[in-house]
Amino acid sequence: MRVLIFHGYLLRGTGSNVYTARLATALARAGHEVHVLCQERRPEEVGMPPGVTVHRPEIGEILPVYVLDRYEGFRARTYLDLDDAAIEAYAEANVAAVAALRERYAFDAALANHLVMGPLILARGLAGQVPYAVKIHGSALEYVVKRDPDRFLPAAREGLAGARAVLVGSRHTAESLWATMGDPELPERTRIGPPGVDVEAFTPLPRDQAAQAVRELAGRLRVAPPEPRQGSSFDRDTREVADALDRLDLRADRLVAYVGKLIVSKGVDLLLAAWPLVLDRVPDARLVIVGFGAYREPLERMLVALAAGDLAAVRALAEQGRAAEGGPREPLKHLLAFLEELDVASDRGAYLAAARRLGERVVLTGRLEHEELAPLLAACEAQVVPSTFPEAFGMVAAEAAACGVLPVVAEHSGLREVAAVLGDAVPAEARALLTFPVGPGAVRDIAARLIHWLGASERLRDDTRRALVETARDRFSWDGVARDVLAAAQGRLEELRRP
């Protein structure tokens, strides 16, 4: 089968990018011919297998995005900040590219990522000649269409109208989509289609083997040729990444990871504020923050301020909120609630004493490629996903589970649904550690769950890890995702789960 995937961005780094690359790989592994239309400038570095062809249309210098970031070779602007003419020019350039590919190849099926503008681009470019499905990742829905429905609902409706099926990662995303679109017939075409996990790469490893794999990764990065620097937040200095990995004591540290974009909505501030509470009880715990994004520099300032006991500076950052990453001023209310409570808390002195060690007990690695992440994750004992904004799915939580690493996730949206699947399999005591409520008590709730897990009995930890790995392999695999996408594109809805 010949398949077209429209994805207007890169093939590495963030959730929908990784989804596209892994889906294309799984489809090719199953014997299909795959064509990916995107803006990845160095597809050879992504490791696409034979059977996958990457096409990069010329779209000019403006790249419309959902969350502001820097991209190599483009002036990235949010959809909300672009005028209609710029968005139409972007769409039409891609429509022309899709139409040209349609004329050249006889596609059997197609997939569009995101609610805007991918579905509209396929609807116009395929001209009704190729069946297609749409994958909702969440960001276009939450950050664009819901915030300015007058401008973006018409485009979303045009794109979904011709889709054979609409795939969502969770019931939460489905309900958000249905309420936004206002189409009473849409639920009948909506099916569950979460991302998957490469269970061969993300797999449990003995501690010594994981440590050796991370050391070898650091060695490769240290001698690797410098990566081109284009002024993008995606840039990285591989030697700096190697230095960060070498700071870890992989035999003695009790590692806890954060993996994701460094943006305010991911809630990394809550995890960072929780870390002195963890250190006070588990002195050998070490936090590894893996990711890139506009909020890295404010996070580093927060880290320095906490280590210096300068809570006034932390409070100032919390008051700024999204303004620190270039957005509107929007205070971080949950962090502020913790700081206010800490002012009169009996453990304030112990918190500040533990915070003085943050410089040595928190490591920011910068960006790791998806395949580079697996051995580091296998060396960890827990992973925290503290997002304060709805997530379509918790792929990083599923990857952690596949490695036998306890995911501790915010109790909402697609994250809660992934935790529910895992929670059905793990022992009851561990089930309570999988989620925490996002609210005024979030900082202490995160810390309490990590402290409990790091101090749990070996029997509980072994039983939990075994259940996490088995469930992840059974419920989340890319081969299954690929089969579901093809069924969705061809309208075989009876083969797919309803939300």
| Three-state SS sequence of 169-202 | CCHHHHHHHHHHHCCCCHHHHEEECCCCCCCCCC
Instruction: Give span(s): CATH 3.40.50.2000, the chain.
Output: 2-196+477-495, 207-475
Q: What is the mean pLDDT of residues 194-199?
A: 86
Under 8 Å between Cβ of 417 and 395: no
Alpha helices in 52-165 (DSSP H): 84-104, 118-126, 139-140, 149-161
| Cα angle: 88, vertex 93, 96; to 5 degrees | 120
Residue among 218, 210, 173 at smallest CA distance from 191? 173
Using CA atoms of 128, 131, 136, 141 in order, give the dihedral in degrees to the nearest 10. 10
At residue 234, does pLDDT exceed 80? no
Residue 277's pLDDT is what?
98
Helix (H, G, I), strand (E, B) or coil at 329: coil
Please report the DSSP string for 40-76 in residue order: -S-GGGTTPPTTEEEE-----SEEEESS----TTSEE
Residue 205's pLDDT is what?
96
142-159: pLDDT as tens digits: 999 999 999 999 999 999
387-428: pLDDT as tens digits: 998 887 788 999 999 999 999 999 998 899 899 999 999 999
Q: What is the mean pLDDT of residues 205-223?
A: 96
Residue 230's pLDDT is what?
66
Residues 6+ apart with CB under 8 A from 196: 22, 23, 26, 395, 398, 476, 477, 478, 479, 480, 481
Lowest mean pLDDT among 81-90, 111-120, 188-197: 188-197
Residue 43 zone, left/alpha/beta (φ > 0; ψ -120 to 50; rest): alpha
At 28, which amino acid appears? A
Helix (H, G, I), strand (E, B) or coil at 210: helix
Under 8 Å between Cβ of 334 and 388: yes
At residue 450, does pLDDT exceed 90? yes
Q: What is the mean pLDDT of residues 447-474?
A: 97
Cβ atoms within 10 Å, residue 328: 7
Q: By percentage, how much of the chain surpasses pLDDT 90?
A: 86
Residue 177's pLDDT is what?
97
Q: What is the mean pLDDT of residues 25-42?
A: 96
Q: What is the mean pLDDT of residues 448-475?
A: 96
Strands lying side by side in the sheet with 285-290: 362-366, 285-290, 254-259, 382-385, 406-410, 435-436
pLDDT band at 192 (very low <50, low <70, confident <90, very high): very high
Lowest mean pLDDT among 72-81, 359-368, 489-498: 72-81
249-282: pLDDT as tens digits: 998 999 999 999 999 999 999 999 999 999 999 9
303-332: pLDDT as tens digits: 999 999 999 999 999 999 999 998 899 999
Residue 417's pLDDT is what?
87
Lowest mean pLDDT among 58-72, 134-148, 154-168: 58-72
Q: Which fold has domain 207-475?
A: Rossmann fold (3.40.50)
Cβ atoms within 10 Å, residue 120: 23
Structure tokens that stand for 440 in this block: 């005024």
More confident residue, 212 or 194: 212
Q: What is the mean pLDDT of residues 57-81?
A: 91
Q: What is the mean pLDDT of residues 127-137?
A: 97
At residue 46, does pLDDT exceed 70? yes
Residue 72's pLDDT is what?
78
d(CA 41, CA 313) in angstroms, rounded, equals 40
Under 8 Å between Cβ of 445 and 339: no
pLDDT band at 82 (very low <50, low <70, confident <90, very high): very high
Cβ atoms within 10 Å, residue 371: 14
pLDDT band at 61 (very low <50, low <70, confident <90, very high): very high
Rg for the chain, CA atoms, rounded: 22
At residue 108, does pLDDT exceed 80? yes
Residue 148 zone, left/alpha/beta (φ > 0; ψ -120 to 50; rest): beta
474-498: pLDDT as tens digits: 888 898 899 999 999 999 999 999 9
CATH class in words for 2-196+477-495: alpha beta
Mean pLDDT (the chain) is 95
